[in-house]
Amino acid sequence: MKILVVDDQEAVRTALEVLFEIHGLPVLSAQHPEEVLRLVATEDVGIVLQDMNFTQEKTSGQEGIDLFRAIKKLDPDLPVLLMTTWTSLETAVQLVKEGAADYIAKPWEDDKLLRTVQNLLRMRELDQENRRLRAQSQRARRQLAQQYDLRGLVYASARMHEVVSLAVHVAASDAPVLITGPNGSGKEKLAEIVQANSRRKEQPFLTVNVGGLPDELLQAELFGSEAGAYTGAVKLRIGRFEAAHGGTLFLDEIGNLSMTGQAKLLRVLQTGEFERLGSSQTRKVDVRVLSATNADLPKAIAAGRFRDDLYFRLNVIELRMPPLAERTEDVSPLAEHFLGTYAQAGRRLKLSDEAAAALLHYDWPGNVRELQNRIQRATLVCQGDVIRVGDLDLPAAHTVGAAPAREPSASATASSETGAADPERGAIEEALVRAHGVVAKAAAELGLSRQALYRRMERLGIVLERRPKM
């Protein structure tokens, strides 16, 4: 990658060329706008170092503004570092708001300029690598969606792609699958994906919330009952295992199942045999069992609330659904999907920039289900075609934001994983961790202004949690 120096003074260009070449940095130079734009379009330019008043015969500064905007139009992501005197400082600040990487005062300090340029070049390289990885990820998601039935699942994150890839991979077997994760994260949707890609996809797919029924009713629900088997049982009832013969049974909230219910479920999983309530006749079924829970089952086993033999029967394959707060890349596409779902016929709604940012700075305790409900609410209360922050009604207690006095979130400490999937995000998160959440300090390390770092954090969905009150 090359540095493109833009200045009308040959002495300045020469001094900068010598400075960069001494430190092994390839450099190009130009003084006319047409030449600058040609080099940006044809050369591997990693950063533009632009003088605000690069044409001596003009002093208004407009020529620098026009060139900057032309560069950004040609390559919106190319870092432009402005060189300015105190007379054009106000203009430089304005251009930073428009997307300039930063500005540096003339006359410059060699060490500071070098550090800033080197860091911006590194960020440019990381940004390009990030784009390559994103494009690769998009191709992988498209291929997966073309090859398998994903039941309309909407996602963009690498975390979800791993989970979905494992789900369709294990779908072909008849092995029991345990889906874990918080409420509202989409466990039932994942179970549907497993069923839709299994050899049983044309057979029944039934769901039971096993944690919400007393033992007697649960046994009748799962295994059926004869007429007169219990008070109110006036006719024969076919249980879910019998009704799902040849297909799949999804047992939701398995962690809330009573010990009696666990024992009866274990038997049918081991033998495929059961008796209807009130009958001594043994029946045999062929049913694949998927189950889901938001509970920590190993902890429940240790506390004596869940059978370890049942756990190992259910958990041949475990699919872990991450909470929405740990996959912020999915928030925007999910929000757009729900907007399209709930917008009234003929009404085209969109999120304001502030509302879109607010969604990324909310920690989603209710996960995807909460996002769905808040978007549905917003479509009902929104006046006009633009959804505002107030329409979302996001509680302040669960809103996080970038501020110098806040600590990095827990996900920022796991930078080795995020950095492998997203190099630019990893570099920023590592700098924030080293700076203990102080954005100004992290920005200085990265060679960016605070405003520039905030913009990158916003684009990448990096948020900082509030410090706990002492």
Say whether 20 sits in a helix, a strand or coil: helix
Lookup: tokens for 21: 């070449």
Residues 6+ apart with CB under 8 A from 31: 6, 7, 8, 13, 54, 55
Considering 278, 301, 320, which residue would you say is the last residue of a domain? Answer: 320
Same domain, 186 and 307: yes
Same domain, 417 and 446: yes
Closest residue by Cα to residue 239 from 254, 217, 257, 261 = 217
Sheet holding 2-6, edge to edge: 27-30, 2-6, 45-51, 80-84, 102-105
Same domain, 378 and 449: no
Considering 320, 354, 385, which residue would you say is the last residue of a domain? Answer: 320
Same domain, 76 and 197: no
In a domain, 135, yes or no: no
In a domain, 271, yes or no: yes
The whole-angstrom separation of Cα 429 and Cα 174 is: 41
At 419 the pLDDT is 40
In a domain, 114, yes or no: yes
Same domain, 297 and 417: no
End-to-end Cα spacing for the chain: 48
- What is the DSSP pairing of strand 407-408 with strand 464-465? antiparallel
The whole-angstrom separation of Cα 62 and Cα 72 is: 15
CATH code assigned at 119: 3.40.50.2300
In a domain, 210, yes or no: yes
- Count structural domains, the chain: 4
Q: What type of residue sits at position 344? A: Q
In a domain, 134, yes or no: no
The whole-angstrom separation of Cα 294 and Cα 254 is: 9
Same domain, 256 and 347: no
Same domain, 229 and 109: no
Residue stretches of the chain with pLDDT short of 70: 54-61, 86-88, 400-422, 465-470
What residue numbers bound the domain in which 311 lies? 155-320
The whole-angstrom separation of Cα 318 and Cα 275 is: 29
Considering 293, 320, 347, which residue would you say is the last residue of a domain? Answer: 320
Q: Are 238 and 277 in contact (CB under 8 A)?
A: no
Which residue in the block uniquely carries the two structure tokens 């049983």? 200
In a domain, 144, yes or no: no
Structure letter (DSSP) for residue 461: T
Same domain, 162 and 244: yes
At 443 the pLDDT is 80
Query: What phi and psi values does residue 282 have, to the nearest 5 degrees?
Result: -85, 130
CATH code assigned at 359: 1.10.8.60
Q: Are 291 and 306 in contact (CB under 8 A)?
A: no
Same domain, 376 and 423: no
Other beta carbons less than 10 A from residue 260's beta carbon: 13
Query: 407: part of which helix (H) or strand (E)?
Result: strand 407-408
SS in 3 state form for 232-298? CCCCCECCHHHHCCCCEEEEECHHHCCHHHHHHHHHHHHHCEEECECCCCEEECCCEEEEEECCCHH
At 86 the pLDDT is 63
Lookup: tokens for 285: 């079924």
At 127 the pLDDT is 83
Query: 350: part of which helix (H) or strand (E)?
Result: strand 350-351
Same domain, 307 and 187: yes
Torsion of CA 106, 109, 112, 118, to 10 degrees: 80
Query: 45: part of which helix (H) or strand (E)?
Result: strand 45-51
Lookup: tokens for 108: 């410059």
In a domain, 147, yes or no: no
In a domain, 137, yes or no: no
Same domain, 269 and 248: yes
Which residue in the block uniquely carries the two structure tokens 């684009």? 459
At 440 the pLDDT is 78
Structure letter (DSSP) for residue 399: B
How many Cα atoms are found within 13 Å in the side-chain-facing hemisphere of 43? 19
Going from the C-alpha of 422 to that of each of 135, 215, 281, the distances in angstroms are 12, 49, 59
Same domain, 185 and 308: yes
The 10s digit of each residue's pLDDT in 33-84 is 899 999 999 999 999 999 887 655 555 568 888 899 999 999 998 999 988 8
Query: 319: part of which helix (H) or strand (E)?
Result: strand 317-320
The whole-angstrom separation of Cα 182 and Cα 185 is: 6
At 455 the pLDDT is 73
